[in-house]
Chain A
Amino acid sequence: MHRKVEIAPMVLLLFNCTGSAQVSSTRLADKQSANATTRITITFAKSPYADFLFYCSIAAPGRIQIWRLLLQ
């Protein structure tokens, strides 16, 4: 997993992303007013059945905790 994160700057270069991995929040904020034009529709949903199935079907020794570390 560590290697995946290290290779990210190379991937950014592959896609010609702005400023590679060093893009700063300030630079992004500066661009917001000029270029932020794309607006998509976002809808949200929830489901007790889906949450129930995750609860019942998944268990692992430590796996869930690792993912929670990455998410937080």
Chain B
Amino acid sequence: MLYRSTGPYPDLATAVAITDISPLDGSSFLPEDSIISAVANYAVLYQLATHHDDPARLSDMLKKAEPRYPAVYSFWEQRIGPNEDQTAKAWTKQDSEWNPVAHLEQTERLKFPFSSIKIDLLALDPQGSSMQGPPTIFTTLEVPSLAWAIGHGGTHMMVGPNGANWTARKRGDEAVRLMKANGGSDYDVEEALCLLMQAKMSIAFGATAKDLRSSDRLF
């Protein structure tokens, strides 16, 4: 059985069934690109898809999915969009009361490399991601706090090429060597820190239990 990305809305799968639309074999950046590009009508998606890997496959998916968009949009307008608005409001309040970037700087002893971040709230994004040009965090609504989102995405920004550029730091090559020797990659080193900091920031903020251990949930 294949799980579709319905986020916290499992009834979407029955409200607007898409079982006849084949999912993509791999991941695509098209969903994130659609919000970066402020797509305002469906036709633009076809043009946008031409700039991504496997555009023919994307175009085929868009054609099959297009008749379902009005129904999904109705569901989104009633259920998903309002929740994204509520999250934006709640996280704005959190930011004003507990500055996550300042706390991240104190903990990591690094300077945050940007003066602004755009946070794209995507309820149906199954895992979240980030980019640095411009600085953007793509997040689900299922993380417990703004501190969690910035703890992860902000750490990528702070230690990445625009920030501390950790791979060029003293002993960075040793960390990479150790990770590769255990079957990982240099990206895994950075990701490990981000996974840790998302929890540490949210714990410090007070939205996550102090005894949380992410590793307990991996088995």
Contacts and interface: CB of A to CB of B under 8 A. Distances in A.
Contacts of A10: 175, 178
Interface string B15-26: 000100101100
Contact of B218 (A2, A54, A59): A2
A21 B118 CA distance: 28
Interface in B92-134: 92, 95, 98-99, 101-103, 105-112, 114-128
Contact of A42 (B98, B116, B124, B127): B116
Contact of B126 (A17, A39, A42, A68): A68
Contacts of B172: 14
Contacts of A18: 106-107, 109
Given A2-B219, A11-B193, A43 B118 contact: yes
Interface in A1-60: 1-8, 10-12, 14-18, 21, 23, 25, 28-29, 31-32, 35-60
Nearest to B100: A42
B94 to A, nearest CB: 10
Contacts of A1: 218
B127 A71 contact: yes
Contacts of A23: 107, 200, 204
Interface of B: 1-6, 12, 18, 21, 23-24, 27-28, 30-32, 34-35, 38-39, 42, 45, 61, 65, 68-69, 72-73, 76-77, 80-81, 84-85, 87-88, 91-92, 95, 98-99, 101-103, 105-112, 114-128, 140, 142-144, 146, 159, 164, 166, 169, 171-172, 175, 178-179, 182-184, 188-193, 195-196, 200, 203-206, 210, 214-215, 217-219
